[in-house]
Each structure stands twice: as structure tokens, then as C-alpha cells.
A and B are shown apart, each in its own frame.
Chain A
């Protein structure tokens, strides 16, 4: 972990859906190269927190900073989104395009990269996630685990500063979870800054630099995984962990 200014800083975020307050003043700091794993029961607001970072949800109040610059939906949202790659629970690959095109589309249309360079990078990334031979397949032909790995490659193709993972393995059959976690572990070891919302405690323990426990719109507790898992300070943390560990 580095001591320069945080890669991501969230200050006092509030978000409600109708009458339901989902984020009740959440503040968080993520350092460069840090892997932060966010855990908590459903409805705790952890996905909403993640989706506020790239403004897929619009916070009601609070501030978000990327590398020291405040995220302003009116002025720099597109640039911010280019620096934040997101991997979704339901993959969201573009079914009408080949795997290779899925990956090269945004670099070409958003960053203006030429086709050759985009494809070169895409093939490298596909090799990295172990799917070099699937470049010309369609998403429909792939298994869930393969699709998610392609989704990771697609997000990486924009060479973002931060990778956001929203329950990346929750929709996968158990036998495919491992292959995706392997890729994520690889990224972590390379020094990527990652925020991962997940239920995979093994991953949190092995790969996470910090675990953040959320409940009912608040961050209840955070710390190194070893500490939080073996020695939770808060009662609610204890309660949650006892149910899942």
C-alpha cells in the first residue's frame, strides 16, 4: 500500500431509493494498488456504494474523488468511467458481437484507439484470462465462467486505474467460481487497485488487503482480513460472520 493520496475517496455518501435509505453517510478510502473487499448482508448497500462510484447510481449527497479529482457528473463523468472498469454479476457481455469485438469496441470508440492496436491488446488480455482461443466465438457459446473472464478482459482493455467487481461470482455455478477468482487474484498480485463486493470469504482472506463490513447503509467495521475475520470488534460483524464462516 502506498501513502500518496488515495485512489478513491468517498465522503459521506447518502443514497435513497424512494423511501428506502440505502446509504447513510458512507465514507471510504482506497489506496493505490489496494484490494478492498466489501462484505455484508443483502440490502446493506454494498452494491449501491460500488455503483455510485461510476455513477450508475446517482448519490443524493456526498462526494467521490478519483485520484484527487472530484467526480462531477456534469463535467467529467465519461473520463471517470474510462478510469473505472466494472465487472457485473450478470456479465453483461454484448451478445451480438464476437468476444474480440466486445473487448475492442470501447477502446476504439471511446479512446479512439486504432483497430490493430485494440485487437492486439484484446488478444493479450484474452491470453491473460486464459481464453485466447475464444476470440472469435460469440458470448452465447461460452460458459458462465468463460463469459465473466471475457468481461474482466473487456473492462481491462480500457486500462482503467480502478477495477470494480460487483458480486462477480454470485451468478456462477460452483465449479466455475474458481477460474474467475484465479484471474482476479492474478490482477491483485500485479498491483491493481480493486474494490470487490463479494460473498467469497476465501478470496477476501487470501487476496484482500482490507475487508469492509457494511450493514444497513453504514460501514460497521473495516480492517485487514485476518483481524476482521478472527477478531471482529463489532457485535453485528460477529453476527454476520458467524452465519457465513
Chain B
């Protein structure tokens, strides 16, 4: 069989549709993931019951496959709350909660990397722990964690393909549909891979750019 470039091109419109959903889902999930992860990361470092709740959450999510988490949200949760959850909502939920656990570890590491002297200086001026975290620690931590956060975004871009199991037509799923009709897996998967490459490469470039901006500003 000869390689058909025309199939690669003709698949593009449908694949790009799927890519749009992939990017959308990933962006929303990372957004919520950063919020959840920041709270969990700080909680993980604090003293009190929230420390253990955060630890359980982080360990459970990092210790189970995203696929299983997706199934739990989509097939399991409706049983508990008594009504079905739309697939898109389930996907955002599962991806956000998943992302949050990984971001929590990134945030925790970022906070712990900040010199102890910063906290001591803030406290010695009479600031509360909360003020110290808000004005001194977090702003510095966030500048440091841009690269790992970028990696998390890229990882999620690729992992988001799993939501195809609940019938969401992201990029990989669109590829499967085309193959189910054309029976040309190689051309289609190549096209899919190329699109993923463009997406992940773009994210890397953006992260690099933000990093440079941050370095020059500080």
C-alpha cells in the first residue's frame, strides 16, 4: 500500500475539530487544576486536619489511572447523586481533579523551594501566615513553577484523549472515526500525531516566553 498524503490533508478539518475540543478541555481542566492544586498544596504544608485531607486526595489521584477516575465520575457519581452527569461535565470534573493533584505537588515543591528567610522576614515584620503566603511566598513560588506547570499542561493535553471513552469527540476519537470509515490507520494516526506535536510545541514555546518575561521582570 502506498502512503496517501491526500488522506492526511483531507482528514485535517475533522481532526482539527477534535483538537479544538482537546485544547478546550485541557485549558479548563488546568485552570481549575491550578486553583485546586494551590489550595491542596498549601494545605499539604499546613498543620491541621486539612493536611491529611489533602494528602489523601493527592495520593489517591496520583495512584489511580485517569481512565478509572473518568469512569468513576461518569458512571459512578450519578449513582450517588441520583442523576446523570453530562459527559462534558464529567470530563471537566475528572480532568480538573486529576490535574489538581499533580499541580498540588508542583505547588508544594515550589513553596518549599522558597528560602526560609523570606518567611522569617515576613513574620518578623508582624505579618500573619496567610499574608506571608499571599504576598511573599506564592508570588515567588509561581514564578518558579512555570516550567513544571507547562509540563502538566502538555501531559494533560495528551491524557485528555482518554475522555473518548465517554463519547467525547476529541482529537484521537476523531481519528478513530475516520479510520472506521477509510481503514487507513497509518495516514490518520500520523495526522493526529502531527497535530499533537503542534499543540505541545506551542505550549512549550509559550512557557519559555513567560519564563523569560518573569526573569527579566524580577
Contact = CB atoms under 8 A, between A and B. Distances in A.
**Which among A86, A92, A155 has the greatest number of chain B C-beta atoms within 10 A?**
A92
B126 A140 contact: no
Contacts of B126: 78-79, 81-82, 106, 110-111, 158
Interface string B91-126: 000000000000000000000000101101111111
B10 interface: no
B218 interface: yes
The SS class assigned to the A binding surface is mixed
Contacts of A86: 120-121, 124
Interface residues of B, number: 19
Contact of A154 (B118, B125, B139): B125
A188 to B, nearest CB: 20
Given A105-B125, A109-B135, A158-B125, 19 more contacts: A79-B126, A81-B123, A85-B125, A90-B115, A92-B117, A92-B118, A93-B121, A94-B136, A95-B218, A96-B139, A105-B135, A106-B122, A106-B125, A109-B127, A111-B126, A140-B218, A151-B121, A154-B125, A155-B125
Nearest to B128: A78
Nearest to B143: A96
**Which among A56, A109, A110, A155 has the greatest number of chain B C-beta atoms within 10 A?**
A109
A231 B136 CA distance: 47
A56 B218 CA distance: 27
14 contacts: A81-B124, A82-B125, A88-B117, A88-B120, A90-B117, A92-B117, A92-B118, A92-B120, A94-B118, A94-B135, A94-B136, A106-B127, A111-B126, A151-B121
B140 interface: yes
The SS class assigned to the B binding surface is helix
A245 B128 CA distance: 42
Nearest to A84: B124
A138 interface: yes
Contacts of A56: 120, 123-124
A95 to B, nearest CB: 6
Interface in A81-134: 81-82, 84-86, 88, 90, 92-96, 105-106, 109-111
A151 B118 CA distance: 12
A54 interface: yes
B46 interface: no
Interface of A: 54, 56, 78-79, 81-82, 84-86, 88, 90, 92-96, 105-106, 109-111, 138, 140, 151, 154-155, 158
B131 interface: yes
A134 B131 CA distance: 25
Interface string B123-167: 111111001000110011001000000000000000000000000
Interface of B: 115, 117-118, 120-128, 131, 135-136, 139-140, 143, 218
Nearest to B218: A96
A165 to B, nearest CB: 12
A112 to B, nearest CB: 11
Across chains A and B, which 10 residue pairs bring their CB atoms closest together, nearest first? Answer: A92-B121, A82-B126, A106-B125, A92-B117, A86-B124, A110-B126, A81-B126, A96-B139, A96-B140, A96-B218
B206 to A, nearest CB: 21
B131 A94 contact: no
A148 B82 CA distance: 63
Contacts of B218: 95-96, 138, 140
Nearest to A154: B125
Nearest to B118: A92
A113 to B, nearest CB: 12
A11 to B, nearest CB: 22
B124 A109 contact: no
